[in-house]
């Protein structure tokens, strides 16, 4: 059976009917996405086991059909779900972030942000076609947060460390110097 992600969506050659993708794959099957996550995980204090995050499953449930918006355009809808391992920028420990992306995209070859039709999001592609693999990879890369930190304070190690640092600032570096000066008298 061929991989459904290798199918091509074209904006110039409309399909008839509905093409459904119900597929599971792993993060490691997306090379650029893996690189983005790997560079985020470089910030970790203790390196993460690569097999753990590379083997996270990606659930892909999508439908592709053509809709008529003056001209016939490909519409991709459904949901993509996975979990990213990322580094908390506060405490440099691992966060496992659940990713659930509702998809409702019209593929187009120029920026149509100002289009009066707000029912869909517009996704600009280079050229006149894109593979399902590349489309899903682009969507997933854009969903990697630029700045991640633990949402609950109790999960984040940095808060207990802050208290320790506050205590240390009570020791002024000048107190020793003052003692030395007093002894010279």
The CA distance from 16 to 129, in Å, is 16
Site string for Zn ion, 151-170 (x = CB under 5 A): -----x--------------
Least separation, in Å, of the C-beta of 160 and Zn ion?
Answer: 11
Question: Nearer Cβ to Zn ion, position 69 or 144?
Answer: 144
Options 76, 80, 88, 130; binder of Zn ion; rule CB under 5 A: 88
- Cβ nearer to Zn ion, comparing 41 with 101: 41
CA distances from 94 to 20, 22, 59, 87 (A): 35, 30, 22, 5
* Choice between 152 and 170, CB closer to Zn ion: 152
Beta-carbon contacts of residue 15 (< 8 Å; ≥ 6 apart): 64, 65, 66, 74
Three-class DSSP category at 54: helix
Residue in this structure with the two tokens 């899903």, named with its chain if needed: 136
Binding of residue 90 to Zn ion (CB under 5 A): yes
Q: Does 91 bind Zn ion (CB under 5 A)?
A: yes
Distance CA 87, CA 107 (A): 32
Instruction: Look at residues 66, 57, 111 and name the one whose alpha carbon lies nearest to residue 84.
Output: 57
User: What is the smallest separation between the CB atom of 97 and Zn ion, expressed in angstroms?
Assistant: 12
Binding window for Zn ion (CB under 5 A); candidates: 18-26, 53-61, 109-117, 146-154: 146-154
Which residues contribute to the site for Zn ion (CB under 5 A)? 88, 90-91, 150, 156
């Amino acid at each position: 059976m061929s991989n459904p992600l290798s199918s091509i969506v074209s904006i110039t050659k409309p399909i008839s009917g509905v093409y459904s993708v119900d597929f599971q794959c792993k993060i490691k099957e997306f090379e650029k996405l893996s690189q983005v996550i790997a560079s985020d995980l470089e910030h970790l204090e203790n390196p993460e086991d690569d097999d753990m995050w590379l083997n996270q499953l990606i659930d892909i449930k999508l439908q592709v059909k053509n809709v008529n918006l003056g001209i016939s355009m490909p519409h991709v809808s459904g949901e993509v779900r996975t979990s990213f391992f990322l580094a908390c920028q506060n405490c440099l420990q691992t966060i496992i972030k659940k990713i659930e992306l509702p998809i409702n995209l019209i593929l187009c070859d120029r920026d149509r942000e100002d289009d009066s039709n707000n029912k869909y999001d517009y996704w600009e592609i280079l050229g006149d076609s894109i593979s399902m693999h590349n489309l899903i990879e682009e969507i997933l890369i854009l969903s990697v947060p630029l700045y991640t930190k633990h949402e609950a304070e109790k999960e984040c190690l940095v808060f207990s460390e802050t208290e320790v640092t506050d205590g240390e600032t009570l020791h002024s570096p000048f107190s020793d110097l003052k003692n030395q000066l007093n002894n010279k008298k």
